[in-house]
Chain A
Amino acid sequence: MTNLFEEVKNMIVEKLHVPPEKITEDAHFINDLGADSLDITTLLMEVNEKYGIDIPDEDAQKLDTVGKLISYLKEKLGEK
């Protein structure tokens, strides 16, 4: 689980095409990383694929920062 942040960061770099140094726990996907709803959906599809989960739409809407996504994943993956 220690590598979760790094793993998510790599996915964000690849899908959102932002420099790694901009990706912090506080970074807001739309305001700080220049993403739009299509980018976020594409990123979450990748996350679902990688961790074998299925983030429901109502949860996805709340995950607007990198930190919130990481915490959500920790909880979700802990349940597995």
Chain B
Amino acid sequence: MKRRVVVTGLGVVSSLGLSVKEFFDNLLEGKSGVSKITRFDPSNLEVQFAGEIKNFPFIERFDIKLAKRTDRFTQYALWASLSAVEDANLDLSKIDKTRAGVIIGSGMGGIETWEIEHQKFLKDGPKKVSPLLVPMMIPDMASGQVSIYFGFKGPNFCVTSACASGAHAIGEAFRLIKSGDADLIITGGTEAPITGYCISSFANMGALSKRNDEPEKASRPFDKDRNGFVLGEGCGVVILEELNSALKRNAKIYCEICGYGASADAFHITAPDETGEGAYYAMANALKEAELSPIDIDYVNAHGTSTKLNDKVEVMAIKKLFKEHAYKLLVNSTKSMIGHLLGGAGAIEFVVTCLSVYHNKVHPTINLDNPDEGMDLDFVRFQMKEKEIFAAINNSFGFGGHNACLVVKKFVGG
């Protein structure tokens, strides 16, 4: 019998809240989590704002020693994972931990730790470099630390595919459960890229919006005046569980994950293929695995970065796949409110997608004042919509030309 996989727990760390409820409520209200950077003085940077998390009380839930030994990206993953485990009402003493895995993606890993230690290396010499640099910086450490925290001994690794890391991680976790390698996986993506060094590179490549005077209006996917993405930070985590294991413990089921499609543009290191072929095939492959037709989909949580090229190509790919049904879809961009979480984006947006299928509520795309030419889909402008969502697709596309799409549908027993 075919193994089915369901979503039974959610957790987030975001600039719009550290709990799933606060986060989703703020999204539905169309609030922006983008603001001027306060963690450090950004005055010498060309871009001085981001979807920055202003208050993150890690040591309220974890001990100080763990705080000192982990980069911010790992702390976000620990926090979101604990929230997801609590949300799933998992009794850790009752599950087979050899069948429980952790797969959390990250694009950059501990770049903040890397920068701090690199400065010590240059200024004070090799003897001053912390022995913890490597175990704090490597991008797989979020998965490592979460497994240590919960004692999960099943499949464990990190997926890295830039801005698609979170979506690829969830897709790979889904397949591992489906194929019988695990019964439960904590999966998602995490990122903490708000550092001067990292912002400088993105700004110098022309990828970021430079709207310093109006940060909350800078992320404007599909709008005529969009001029780049806004860097964000945070984490999204879900508990994926084999259906029978979830039913046996009477778990709350948000939705069923039923399709994962991956493809490459094979085109350019940062620019998307303008034909939209890569995005098209990732979506088409995900629908195929889900055994759904384009007309079964009600909602697309778009990659929607707010760059000129991404939004144009993504809309083109959606129209190519969905044809006339494209105009019946609700299409939104979570990035319009929290910015781009890079390796965390696909995961936190997957959390949003699951919530929309569960609650039948779709958050707005904010700042979409004047849709650009050809941007004529229902982007849920200004106000959230309530609509029965049977199935939804979540798109993620990363530098390097990596594309990953995930399909979820309402859970129906039997």
Cβ of A1 under 8 Å from chain B? no
Question: Once bound together, how far apart are the Cα atoms of A76 and B131, in whole Å?
Answer: 24
Contact A54–B127 (Cβ < 8 Å): yes
* Neighbouring B residues of A16 by C-beta, 8 Å: 65
A-side interface size class = under 10
B-side interface size class = 10 to 19
Cβ of A41 under 8 Å from chain B? yes
Q: Given A17-B63, A54-B127, verify A38-B132 contact (CB < 8 Å).
A: yes
Contact B64–A42 (Cβ < 8 Å): no
Distance between A54 CB and nearest chain B CB, rounded to angstroms: 7
* Neighbouring B residues of A42 by C-beta, 8 Å: 130-132
Q: Given A45-B128, A54-B127, verify A38-B64 contact (CB < 8 Å).
A: no
Cβ of B135 under 8 Å from chain A? yes
Contact B65–A17 (Cβ < 8 Å): yes
Question: Once bound together, how far apart are the Cα atoms of A16 and B64, in whole Å?
Answer: 10
Q: Mark interface residues in B70-114 (1 if CB within 8 Å of A CB, else 0).
A: 000000000000000000000000000000000000000000000
Cβ-neighbour of A38 out of B63, B128, B135 (below 8 A): B135
Q: Mark interface residues in A39-76 (1 if CB within 8 Å of B CB, else 0).
A: 00110010011000010000000000000000000000
Contact B127–A38 (Cβ < 8 Å): no
Distance between A34 CB and nearest chain B CB, rounded to angstroms: 8
Question: Once bound together, how far apart are the Cα atoms of A38 and B130, in whole Å?
Answer: 9
Q: Mark interface residues in B122-134 (1 if CB within 8 Å of A CB, else 0).
A: 0000011011100
* Neighbouring A residues of B2 by C-beta, 8 Å: none
Using CB atoms, name the residue of chain A closest to B124. A49
Question: Once bound together, how far apart are the Cα atoms of A9 and B131, in whole Å?
Answer: 21
Cβ of B248 under 8 Å from chain A? no
Cβ of B68 under 8 Å from chain A? yes
The 9 closest A-B pairs by CB, nearest first: A17-B65, A41-B131, A38-B131, A17-B64, A38-B132, A42-B131, A42-B130, A42-B132, A17-B68
B: residues with CB less than 8 A from A are 63-65, 68-69, 127-128, 130-132, 135
A16-B65, A38-B135 known; 15 other A-B pairs, CB under 8 Å? A17-B63, A17-B64, A17-B65, A17-B68, A38-B131, A38-B132, A41-B131, A42-B130, A42-B131, A42-B132, A45-B127, A45-B128, A45-B131, A48-B127, A54-B127
